[in-house]
Amino acid sequence: MEPSADSSASPFTPLVVLELVSDTKEEAITWLLSRIRDPQQTGGAGLLVEKLGPGVGGEEKENPNLFLVGASRERLLSGAEDVGLFKEYSDGSMRGFTCANKHNFKDFKGDGDSFLSMAECQYIIKHELDTLRAKDETHVPGYSHAKLYPGKSIVRRLLSKGILIQIFPLHHKEELKRLSFSWYKKVKLSLQPLDDIRHYYGEGQALYFGFLEYFTFALVPMALFGVPYYLFDWEDYDKYVVFAVFNVIWCTIILELWKRFSASLAYHWGTLSRKKAFEEPRPGFHGILGFNPVTGREEPLYPNTKRQLRIYLVSLPFVLLCLYLSLYVMMIYFQMEGWALSINDQDPTFWTGVLIYIPSIIYAVVIEAMNLIYRYAAEFLTEWENHRLESSYQNHLVLKVLVFNFFNCFASLFYIAFVMQDMVLLRQSLATLLITSQILNQIMEAFLPYWLQRRRNKKMIRKVQKRRTLGDKELPLEEQVRLEADMSTYLGTFDDYLELFLLFGYVSLFSCVYPLSAVLVVLNNVTEVYSDAFKMCQVFKRPFADPAANIGVWQLAFETMSVIAVVTNCALIGMSPQVKAYFPDSDTQLILWIVAVEHGLLAFKFILTFLIPDVPKHIQIKLSRLEFESLEALKKKKMLEASEPRKDIQ
C-alpha cells in the first residue's frame, strides 16, 4: 500500500467540501489541512485536501475558505473496512468488506476503482474526518477559546465553535441527471428506482422513499374499497362498520409486512447486520471533562440524573402545558363555531354564510402556527436536555413533536366523534382538514422550492454569463461548488415521516366515516413522490448517506398509531346505529361487547406480531449461514494454531 501522504499532490476527485468562515486565521487552516493530510500512522486522517480556486465572478463577498477533500483509492478501501461496510460477496451473500479479502467481493474488478459508490466514499470521508482526533493540542491554533483535549474530534469542535461552517458532499452532475430522469422526469407506471436512490443518497433516504411507495400501494385496496362506498352509501352512516373492521385488520397487517420488506431491502443494501460504530458525542454536547467509562477517553461528561431531572421536571410539564393549551384553543374554536352557527341560524344572510367558515379557517391557521412555534420550543428544550448522542437527541425530539402534532391534529376529530357524537360534522371536518393540509403541503413542498431554486439558478447563470463562459453550458468546478454551498441544507427525513404519520392517522383512525380519504392520500402520496424527488435532486445540497437498517423510531410511532386505530375503530363501531340496533334494551351490554371485541383484537394484534417473523425466512437463512461460517472458520483457525507446536517437534 502506498503511503497516502505522497499522493496529495496528484489530481484527485473532490468528494466532500469543507467551508470555513472567511476570516479563519491562517495558522488554524494550515494546522487543520496538515492534520487531514497526515498519514494515519501518525494520527492524521490520511486524506487528500485542496483549496478551491476563486470563482468566476471573483467578487469580494465570496468566501475564499472552501476546501475540497478526497482520498486515494487505497485509503477509501481501508476506510470502507473501518466503517464496516457490507458488500455482496462472490457467493451472493452480504459480508463485511475487508481489504485482505477484497478480490472475493462480487463487484471488485481490477483495482477496485468503481467498487465503492460515490455516496459510500463520501460517507467514509465524513467518518474519517469525524474521527480525526486531537493529540496533544490544548486548543485550535489561533483560537484559544476552542479548547481541545486528547481524543476530541477536531471537526466537531470546529463546528461547535463556528469556525467550520459546514461540511457537505458534492453532487455528481451526470449521475444526478440519470437518477432524476428515471425517478421523476418521465411519466411512468413503474416503481421508483430504489436501488439507484440508495446508490446516490444512501440507505436512510432510500428507505424513506421505499416506505412512501409501500404505504401508497398498501392504501390502494382501501381506496378501491372506499370509492364505491363513497358513491353509493354516502348518506348511509350505518354502513361504516364493515369499513372499520377492514381498517383494523389492514393497519395491523401492513405494518408487519413492511418490517419484512424493509428487512429484505436492508439486507440487500448491506445495512441489516452491519454493526453500529461507536457514536461520537454530538457537537452541541457539553459537560465537565472526565473519563468516559466505556472508551476510557477523556471527554465531557454530563450526569444522567441531571438530564433526567430536566426531562421530567421541565420538558414533560412543558409538553403537558402545551397539550392543555392546544385543548383550550380547540374549545375556543368549538365555541366560536357554535356562535357563528347560531348567528347564521337566527338570520341567514350572505355574510353570516361566510362567517360560518371563519372559525375553521382561524383554527387551521392557529394549528399550523402552534405546530411551528412548538417545533422551535421542542428543539430548544431537547438541545437544553444536553443529550450526548445524536440518536438520543433525535428520539427525544421526535417523541415531543409527535405527541403534540398528534394531539393538535386529531384532538378536534376525537372530540367531535366521541363527545359531540356528530358523524356528519366529523366527516366534514375530516374532509376539510385532509384537503386543506394536502393543498398547503403541495404548495410548500413543490411549488415554493421550485420557484426559489429557479431564482437562485438564474442568479448564478447571470453571474457566469457576465464572464461569457456559458458556451459549454457546464459550470466550472469552482462555480458548481459555490452553487451547491449556497443551496439549502436538507434537514433529514423527519418532516417527511411526520407528514406520512399524520396521513396514516387520518386514514387508519377515521377513514370509515369518510371512505374517500384513502383516495385522497393515495393522490397526495403520488405527487409527494415527485415533489420529494425533485427537492432531493434540485433544491437541496446532497446529504451524507445514512446507513440505516430500518425506519427506526418511526416504526414504533406507526405501530402505536395502529393500536390507537384499533381502539378508535372499535369505539366508532360501537356508536353506529347499525350495531346499536342489536342491543335495543341495554347500552351496558353493547359497551361490554365492544370492549370484549376490542381486547380480543388487541390480543390478536399482539399475537400476530409474534407469529409473523420480522425478517423473511430466506434472509434469516443467509444471516445464520454467515454466522455459522465465521464460527467454523474460527474453529479451524484454532485447530491449526493448536497443531502448529506439534509440527515443530516433528
Instruction: Report d(CA 35, CA 30) in Å as an integer.
Output: 9
Decide whether 187 or 649 has the Cβ nearer to its own copies: 649
Question: CB of residue 292 vs its own copies: minimum separation in angstroms?
Answer: 9
Decide whether 104 or 465 has the Cβ nearer to its own copies: 104
| Residues with Cβ within 8 Å of residue 307, at least 6 apart in sequence | 385, 386, 387
Decide whether 314 or 592 has the Cβ nearer to its own copies: 592
Q: SS3 for 93?
A: coil
- How does DSSP assign 131-175, residue by residue? T-B-SS-SEETTEEEEE--TT-BHHHHHHHTTSEEEEEEPP-HHH
Angle, in degrees to the nearest 10, between helices 553-575 and 494-510: 20
* Inter-residue contact 314 to 381 (CB < 8 Å): yes
Decide whether 78 or 531 has the Cβ nearer to its own copies: 78
Question: CB of residue 6 vs its own copies: minimum separation in angstroms?
Answer: 12
Decide whether 385 or 532 has the Cβ nearer to its own copies: 385
Distances from the Cα of 233 to the Cα of 50, 107, 229, 516, 524, angstroms? 68, 57, 5, 12, 24
Q: Which cell is 487 given?
A: 443551496
| Residues with Cβ within 8 Å of residue 502, at least 6 apart in sequence | 405, 406, 409, 437
Question: CB of residue 179 vs its own copies: minimum separation in angstroms?
Answer: 34
Question: CB of residue 650 vs its own copies: minimum separation in angstroms?
Answer: 12
| Residues with Cβ within 8 Å of residue 22, at least 6 apart in sequence | 63, 64, 65
Q: Which residues of 310-334 are buried (b: 16+ CB within 10 A; e: fewer)?
A: ebeeebeeebeebbeebeebbeebb
Question: CB of residue 99 vs its own copies: minimum separation in angstroms?
Answer: 8
Angle, in degrees to the nearest 10, between helices 240-268 and 617-649: 30
Decide whether 391 or 538 has the Cβ nearer to its own copies: 391
Instruction: Report d(CA 603, CA 597) in Å as an integer.
Output: 10
Contact positions toward its own copies, by CB under 8 A? Answer: 1, 3, 40-41, 78, 81-82, 99-100, 277-278, 293-296, 304, 567, 587-588, 591-592, 595, 599, 617, 621, 624-625, 628, 631, 635, 638-639, 641-643, 645-646
Angle, in degrees to the nearest 10, between helices 494-510 and 240-268: 150
The single-letter code of the amino acid at 258 is W
Decide whether 103 or 617 has the Cβ nearer to its own copies: 617
Cβ atoms < 10 Å from Cβ of 387: 22
Sign of CA dihedral 177, 178, 183, 186: positive
* Inter-residue contact 152 to 287 (CB < 8 Å): no
Decide whether 25 or 307 has the Cβ nearer to its own copies: 307
Question: CB of residue 294 vs its own copies: minimum separation in angstroms?
Answer: 5
Q: SS3 for 174?
A: helix
Strand order through the sheet with 16-20? 48-51, 66-70, 16-20, 164-169
Decide whether 471 or 584 has the Cβ nearer to its own copies: 584
Task: Identify any residues that bridge with 564 across adjacent strands, giving them in sequence order.
Answer: none
Question: CB of residue 47 vs its own copies: minimum separation in angstroms?
Answer: 16
Cβ atoms < 10 Å from Cβ of 570: 22
Question: CB of residue 358 vs its own copies: minimum separation in angstroms?
Answer: 34
Decide whether 48 or 434 has the Cβ nearer to its own copies: 48
Question: CB of residue 427 vs its own copies: minimum separation in angstroms?
Answer: 24
Decide whether 99 or 444 has the Cβ nearer to its own copies: 99
Question: CB of residue 55 vs its own copies: minimum separation in angstroms?
Answer: 39
Q: Which cell is 255 given?
A: 405494518
Instruction: Report d(CA 411, CA 204) in Å as an integer.
Output: 31
Question: CB of residue 216 vs its own copies: minimum separation in angstroms?
Answer: 30
* Inter-residue contact 404 to 322 (CB < 8 Å): yes
Question: CB of residue 152 vs its own copies: minimum separation in angstroms?
Answer: 17
Decide whether 372 or 595 has the Cβ nearer to its own copies: 595
